[in-house]
């Protein structure tokens, strides 16, 4: 088992309300200059590797605000779509996003999925495995609920994603140990994702894609940094983008900031044949 910033209790604050996660993803999406939309890539992979379409049951584990869930509903059109998350606030946001689509919403820990064995044709786990101190427990549970011949699609990031921001934060004196601190993605990342597959799940596809970001000025970057659980900012700066932006501007001036991330997609198939 491992302990990284995203596996610690303080990271849960990010998911207590929709607003904080929305601010984080909005800042990141506005900064993005290169890289395909993740939800569309996941849907493309599902359609390519599905044994049959439309699938009977599709589960989106760690659904967050439901961005991927909605794309799965629109493009896969499953008979039953399950949106699963540990946060009641995230599920409420997903329900709003999926208005007009038939779906079920389950608040649950992904270490113990509330479903029978072998019921899902597709299980998606996007940007959530690194929240588990022992992600193998989660992938074992995912394997349990997939039908023979069904697939799991997992997405994560490289362990050095956004490392450029560590140097920016440290250089401004906001957290001098930023570059030495463990990655947010240390639990489940691009380098170890295939090793997290349990017996019975065989890798069918693996790909990596570089995403690039340009935060236009200190205010834009501070909107993102204020939501990250990685850094240890001085008292009065934590969670508040206004003084963070002022501190960044005082050191770096009014300039853009660039960062990169590798997004990794893995498709795994449950051993056995349908029927």
Average confidence (pLDDT) over 57-66 = 96
User: Which two three-digit tokens encode residue 65?
Assistant: 């605000």
Q: Which 8-state DSSP code applies to residue 233?
A: P
Q: SS3 sequence, 162-177?
A: CHHHHHHHHHCCCCCC
* Each residue's pLDDT tens digit, 185-199: 999 999 999 999 999
Question: 86 preceded by cis ω (within 30°)?
Answer: no
Q: What is the CA radius of gyration of the chain?
A: 19
* Each residue's pLDDT tens digit, 122-160: 999 999 999 998 999 999 999 999 999 999 999 999 999
Top CATH class of 5-160+183-211+260-270 equals: alpha beta
Average confidence (pLDDT) over 220-235 = 93
Position 237 scores a pLDDT of: 87
Distance CA 150, CA 118 (A): 9
Position 170 scores a pLDDT of: 97
Average pLDDT, the chain: 92
pLDDT at residue 6 greater than cutoff 90: no
pLDDT at residue 85 greater than cutoff 80: yes
Instruction: Categorize the per-residue pLDDT at 256 as very low, low, confident or very high, splitting at 50, 70 and 90.
Output: very high
Range 229-256 burial, b when 16+ CB lie within 10 A, else e:
bbbebeeebeeebebbbebbbeebeeee
pLDDT > 70 fraction of the chain, expressed in percent and rounded: 92
Phi, psi of 213 (to 5 degrees): -135, 140
User: Which two three-digit tokens encode residue 175?
Assistant: 């957290």
| Higher local confidence (pLDDT), 164 or 53 | 164
The percent helix, strand, coil of the chain (3-state, each to 5) is: 40, 25, 35
């Amino acid at each position: 088992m491992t302990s990284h910033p995203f596996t610690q209790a303080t990271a849960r604050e990010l998911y207590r309300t929709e607003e904080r996660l929305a601010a984080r993803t909005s800042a990141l999406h506005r900064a993005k200059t290169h890289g395909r939309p993740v939800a569309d890539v996941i849907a493309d992979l599902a359609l390519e590797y599905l044994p049959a379409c439309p699938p009977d049951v599709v589960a989106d584990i760690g659904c967050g605000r439901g961005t991927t869930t909605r794309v799965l509903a629109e493009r896969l059109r499953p008979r039953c779509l399950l949106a699963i998350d540990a946060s009641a606030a995230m599920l409420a946001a997903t329900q709003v996003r999926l208005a007009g689509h038939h779906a079920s919403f389950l608040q649950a820990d992904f270490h113990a999925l509330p479903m029978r064995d072998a019921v899902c044709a597709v299980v998606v786990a996007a940007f959530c495995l690194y929240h588990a101190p022992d992600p193998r427990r989660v992938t074992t549970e995912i394997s349990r609920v997939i039908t023979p011949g069904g697939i799991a699609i997992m997405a994560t990031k490289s362990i050095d994603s956004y490392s450029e921001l560590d140097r920016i934060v440290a250089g401004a004196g906001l957290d001098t140990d930023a570059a030495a601190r463990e990655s947010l993605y240390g639990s489940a990342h691009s380098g170890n994702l295939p090793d997290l597959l349990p017996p019975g799940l065989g890798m069918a596809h693996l790909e990596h894609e570089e995403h690039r970001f340009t935060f236009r000025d200190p205010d834009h970057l501070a909107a993102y940094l204020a939501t990250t659980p990685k850094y240890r900012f001085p008292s009065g700066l934590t969670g508040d983008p206004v003084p963070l932006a002022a501190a960044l501007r005082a050191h770096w001036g009014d300039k853009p900031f660039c960062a990169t991330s590798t997004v990794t997609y893995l498709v795994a198939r449950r051993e056995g044949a349908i029927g």
